[in-house]
Amino acid sequence: MATQKQIVERDSVVVKFAGDSGDGMQLTGTLFSDTAALAGNDIATFPDYPAEIRAPHNTIAGVSGFQVHIGKETRIIGDQCDILVAMNPASLLANLKWVKSGGVILVDGDAFDDPALKKACCTTNPLEDGSLSSYRVVSPPITTMAKETASALGMDTKSAARTKNMFCLGIIYYIFNFELEAPFKLLDKRFAKKLDLALVNKQVMQKGFDFAETMEIFQTTYQISTVNLPKGKYRNITGNIATAWGLLAAAEKSGHNLFLGSYPITPATDILCELARYKSLSAKVFQAEDEIAGICSAIGASYAGAMACTTTSGPGLSLKAEALGLAVIMELPLVVVDVQRGGPSTGLPTKSEQSDLNIALYGRNGEAPCIVIAASSPGDCFYQAFNAAKLAMESMTPCIVLTDGYIGQGSELFKIPRMSDMPAINPPVVKANDPDYHPYARDPETLARKWAIPGTEGLRHRIGGLEKTDVFGNVSTDPINHEKMVYYRKEKVNRLADKLPEQEVFGHPEGDLLVVSWGGTRGQVCVATKEVRESGKKVAHAHFTNIMPLPKNTAEIFSKYKKILVCELNNGQFANYLRTQHPQFKYLQYNKVQGLPFTVQELVNQINNVL
Amino acid sequence: MIERTTEKLTKQDFASDQMVKWCPGCGDHAILSAIENVFPQIGYKKEKFCVVSGIGCSSRLPYYLNTYGMHGIHGRANAIATGVRLFNRNLSVWIATGDGDSLAIGGNHFIHIIRRNLDVNILLFNNEIYGLTKGQYSPTSPMGKVTKSSPQGTIEHPFTPGELVLGAQGTFFARVIDTHPKFITEVLLEAAKHDGTSVVEMLQNCVIFNEGAHKYLTDKDNREDRQLILRQGQPMVFGKNNDKGIRLGQNGLEVVSLGDDNVTLDDILIHDMTRQDPGIHLMLAKMKPPHFPIALGVIRSADAATYDQLMDDVIATHIQSCPIHSVDDLLNSGDTWEI
């Protein structure tokens, strides 16, 4: 007897796809999130993959995941998932702790044979030993059914078995009452050059969908509330792609073509690869022989008139330190993007952390201030990359943009801006034969020196790493002159605070507790403080994007709260920086250094403890 | 294309107003003078020269020339210059570097700029010592050399710069000596003409820390017997009486005396710097005393595509083939939807 299908409305749902690193989980997750976005949901995604390209088959080390949060408003990827799709025992075990009690677990029943269980170090079969009793587990023979469908269409056995991810996706689409038309179009696009492959994948997906429908394996399906965002044109974007596009936008706006000098490093490589695709925008992209050549070539290009940048992650920033000091003393514009990962040394290459703040602020010999800003979400990377270029070019100072592996590789819905709405960028370029030009003559207001592009008539000059005389720029070891130049380089950065927007506060303008965060943790901290506020407590949230210099009203804001709690994914680098900048306040800390983002729950607990 | 000058330039146009602070008697003075002589002869507008350096005595050069210039950091001149040249193809880029700067701390950048064949000119000052840090051995110091950091003599096999350049697929390599400024000017003109990375090794005497390092070569009484001046299309003849030559024997190059064993001028190798195969060029670069003279002049100048030109070509082609021509195009490309 057919049971009545029940459709439940939900504001948001978190789905995680997990499998072996060759199982195509990233593709599956991307297809799912794109489909949800097309269906009118807000989305946030995060890939979670091992450092090894193909770690041993069926082991926990080789588990690759992709988490998708869909719904009305999804600022974060979600602490725990409502639905886990696990392609083998290892991926089930690795992710079980992230599944909500009562959540749905869809596994490939074919994958739970003895060898696979042994590889995942299971002594008993979790599908049979009762350990999953608090979840709703569905374990159809997915590989068998996918293989049958694909083989019938003429695909070889090995390839046919690999379509199992599409079968799962078909089942998931059924659970969310999604039409298959949208994912079919996405598949046609993705396999535009291999239409037979697109056809097989579509058929298998349809089979999965039909299977879920006819077998009635789910009594409950979901209808997800559509997004509640301002009207406009949207796309899905990862932080790394947004960073690349923000740099291109700054180049276009400033009229100085982009030059990127970069060396591949996880998790920043995507920026290099993305920029390499758009030579049609006259971007010159140079894959250097090492990190040092990456920044040095960018410094050379900057001298020659480029909107120059270099992109890297923690270990690369260490290598670039000396050259960054050169850019500081030569007062050339330069954007350095650091997609932070767990450190020190090679650390946790594929995991996220906020532990490069100290090196960004202080990691150079001598008094060598750089501008430091941090992006707070995937889409925000576009704006912060753009801002970094604007600040660097207009003040003739290097600017470090901190993003991280979590927002760099994660994605969210991004409202497409119009270039005509982006602010102008006006670097102080000096005109040919200017009789008043001197290499270190400064704008009295901004203290920026002028940019004299080599090749221009009447402006021949030399700059370099040796200290130079004020105004004229000759080599000098004069003690008073050195102190003056040190002052100018610092004061130039300080004065930017006059132009920066004031620091915003979300929640009560005064109260018991101000929760402070910076960089990629905005989503979680915002949701957590909101939750605590809704329980009636006087809590507010200040999220910092501008770090060096800090916004001018920072102390004023801090003075309005009884307590300040600084939350960050390191041992307290921002808290310590605040202690040096505004020592009159007491800063409580909440730190996590696990290579993982905060969960909303742990933040809520911590905030309540402090109150 | 680099813009050419219509006015007549002279040495004075490139002389800077800064005090030259090299030691009296340093070989760098002669090299500087040769560079000031050669720049007006190249024919570009004076604003089109950019001199980039690293760290070391030689790397002070940009301050002493009235051009655009940058004094960089240790070992990175080649990397910095790569960015200058790639971004601005209207500049004639010259790199001043030394045996420490390019063969030790900056060795990686040196081999890669050569491998890419970027169109720049590298002036490699080789005094076989670290001068600015006051006398430690360098990667070109001969084995056994006693210096402040090798009081018992070095135990390192030195680099032969030419061997390194050709090993990195260099398309231009020349060697000159600071005692022969006219010849430097002549060779630098050849370097400027070459499309691609031109490396000119400048054997240079450090009067303070390595006086006489190249004495074997410069010794007045014997220098004709110890130097082989290479000229394109000419037989490789040398010696006080022009009576010695280089022949290609079964086991490589050999020195022969004209007239001995019926050796005639026809047996002597004719120098062809343009040949693609670097085999003979490598043998010439590696010739060492006491059995061979040291080769001076342009050893290799072969044609190959330059990285800068290839990058421009790729960009030009992509502008034609890619539909994305503005950031607005880019932002609206791919999957988008209205809310």
ipTM of the complex: 0.97
Nearest to A602 by CA among A247, A220, A80, A164: A80
Domain topology for B11-218: Rossmann fold (3.40.50)
How far from chain centre, in Å, is Cα A307? 23
Chain B residues in contact with A248 (beta carbon < 8 A): 327, 330
Please judge whether A233 and B332 are an interchain contact, meaning their C-beta atoms are less than 8 angstroms apart.
Answer: yes
- Minimal-distance CA residue of chain A relative to B92: A455
Correct CATH for A506-610 of 3.40.50.920, 3.40.190.10, 2.40.170.20, 2.10.109.10: 3.40.50.920
Query: What is the pLDDT at residue A239?
Result: 97
Chain A residues in contact with B91 (beta carbon < 8 A): 304, 454-455
pLDDT, greater one: A218 or A351: A351
Chain B residues in contact with A245 (beta carbon < 8 A): 327, 330-331
Chain A residues in contact with B50 (beta carbon < 8 A): 304, 454-455
Segments of chain B with pLDDT less than 70 = none
Tokens 């459709």 belong to A7
Query: What is the pLDDT at residue B253?
Result: 97
Beta strands in A111-169 (DSSP E): 136-138
> Rounded to a whole number, what is the distance in Å from the CA of A293 to chain B's nearest CA?
5
- For residue A247, pLDDT beyond 90: yes
Cβ pair B199, B118 in contact under 8 A: no
| Total residues belonging to chain B | 339
Please judge whether A280 and B71 are an interchain contact, meaning their C-beta atoms are less than 8 angstroms apart.
Answer: no
- For residue A573, pLDDT beyond 80: yes
Average pLDDT of chain A, as a whole number? 94
Residues A385-411: pLDDT tens digits?
999 999 999 999 999 999 999 999 999
Q: Indicate the domain borders of chain B.
A: 11-218
pTM: 0.95
Interface test with A, best of B20, B39, B68, B71 (most A CBs within 10 A): B68
Q: Name which of B66, B83, B335 is nearest A296 (Cβ-Cβ).
A: B83
Chain B residues in contact with A458 (beta carbon < 8 A): 47
- For residue A1, pLDDT beyond 60: no
Rounded to an integer, the average pLDDT of A534-547 is 97
Helices A291-303/B107-116 angle, 10° precision: 70
Correct CATH for A235-421 of 3.40.50.300, 2.40.50.140, 3.40.50.150, 3.40.50.970: 3.40.50.970
Chain B residues in contact with A302 (beta carbon < 8 A): 83
Q: Residue A342 and residue A455: Cα distance in Å, rounded?
A: 43
Tokens 């910092």 belong to A544
Please judge whether B83 and A300 are an interchain contact, meaning their C-beta atoms are less than 8 angstroms apart.
Answer: yes
- Minimal-distance CA residue of chain A relative to B61: A462
Please judge whether B108 and A290 are an interchain contact, meaning their C-beta atoms are less than 8 angstroms apart.
Answer: yes
Q: Name which of A231, A323, A460 is nearest B67 (Cβ-Cβ).
A: A460
- Minimal-distance CA residue of chain A relative to B115: A289
Please judge whether A462 and B337 are an interchain contact, meaning their C-beta atoms are less than 8 angstroms apart.
Answer: no
Tokens 């490396």 belong to B199
Please judge whether A301 and B83 are an interchain contact, meaning their C-beta atoms are less than 8 angstroms apart.
Answer: yes
Interface test with B, best of A279, A302, A414 (most B CBs within 10 A): A279
- For residue A337, pLDDT beyond 60: yes
In order of A396, B31, B146, the CA distances from B69 in angstroms are: 18, 17, 36
> Is A10 exposed, middle or buried, given 0-12, 13-18 or 19+ CB atoms closer than 10 A?
middle
In order of A20, A63, A345, A365, A449, the CA distances from A56 in angstroms are: 9, 9, 25, 44, 56
Chain B residues in contact with A455 (beta carbon < 8 A): 47-48, 50, 68, 88, 90-91
Which stretch of A17-21, A373-377, A472-476 has the lowest confidence by average pLDDT?
A: A17-21
Residues A20-31: pLDDT tens digits?
887 889 899 999
Looking at residue B242, what DSSP letter applies? S
Domains A6-224 and A235-421 share a fold: no
Which stretch of A45-49, A107-111, A304-308, A406-410 has the lowest confidence by average pLDDT?
A: A45-49
Phi-psi region of B104 (alpha: psi -120 to 50; beta: other; left: phi over 0): alpha
Interface test with B, best of A238, A252, A460 (most B CBs within 10 A): A460
- Minimal-distance CA residue of chain B relative to A280: B319
In order of A589, B58, B171, B180, the CA distances from B186 in angstroms are: 68, 20, 18, 10
Chain B residues in contact with A326 (beta carbon < 8 A): 72-73
Interface test with A, best of B67, B70, B118 (most A CBs within 10 A): B70
In order of A232, A271, A574, the CA distances from A377 in angstroms are: 19, 16, 18
Token pair of A234 as six digits: 């949207």
- For residue A468, pLDDT beyond 80: yes
Please judge whether B318 and A279 are an interchain contact, meaning their C-beta atoms are less than 8 angstroms apart.
Answer: yes
Residues B69-78: pLDDT tens digits?
999 999 999 9
Chain A residues in contact with B84 (beta carbon < 8 A): 300-301, 303-304, 454
Chain B residues in contact with A230 (beta carbon < 8 A): 339
Query: What is the pLDDT at residue A136?
Result: 92
B135-140: long-range pairs with CB below 8 Å, 24+: B135/B208, B135/B209, B135/B210, B138/B98, B138/B99, B138/B100, B138/B103, B138/B104, B139/B99, B139/B100, B139/B103, B139/B104, B139/B107, B140/B99, B140/B103
**Helix, strand, coil percentages in chain A from 3-state DSSP, rounded to 5:** 40, 25, 35
> Rounded to a whole number, what is the distance in Å from the CA of A429 to chain B's nearest CA?
16
Phi, psi angle pair for A567, to nearest 5° = -105, 125
Query: What is the pLDDT at residue A2?
Result: 47
Please judge whether B314 and A279 are an interchain contact, meaning their C-beta atoms are less than 8 angstroms apart.
Answer: yes
Residues B279-309: pLDDT tens digits?
999 999 999 999 999 999 999 999 999 999 9
Residues B131-176: pLDDT tens digits?
999 999 999 999 999 999 999 999 999 999 999 999 999 999 999 9
Beta strands in A173-252 (DSSP E): 220-224, 233-238
What stretch of H or E contains A524? helix A522-534
Query: What is the pLDDT at residue A3?
Result: 53
Q: Name which of A231, A303, A460 is nearest B66 (Cβ-Cβ).
A: A460
Query: What is the pLDDT at residue A4?
Result: 61
Average pLDDT of chain B, as a whole number? 96
Chain A residues in contact with B67 (beta carbon < 8 A): 460
> Rounded to a whole number, what is the distance in Å from the CA of A242 to chain B's nearest CA?
10
Query: What is the pLDDT at residue A16?
Result: 95
What stretch of H or E contains B257? strand B252-257
Q: Residue B262 and residue A195: Cα distance in Å, rounded?
A: 76
Chain B residues in contact with A423 (beta carbon < 8 A): none
Size of interface A-B (CB pairs under 8 A): 204
Cβ pair A481, A347 in contact under 8 A: no
pLDDT tier at A78, thresholds 50, 70, 90 = confident
Q: Does domain A6-224 have CATH number 2.160.10.10?
A: no
- For residue A49, pLDDT beyond 90: no
Chain A residues in contact with B82 (beta carbon < 8 A): 261, 286, 288, 293, 296-297, 300
Query: What is the pLDDT at residue B240?
Result: 94
Query: What is the pLDDT at residue A486?
Result: 98
Q: Name which of A235, A306, A460 is nearest B68 (Cβ-Cβ).
A: A460
Token pair of A403 as six digits: 């993003």
Nearest to A597 by CA among A237, A77, A94: A77
Q: Indicate the domain borders of chain A.
A: 6-224, 235-421, 428-499, 506-610
> Rounded to a whole number, what is the distance in Å from the CA of A319 to chain B's nearest CA?
13
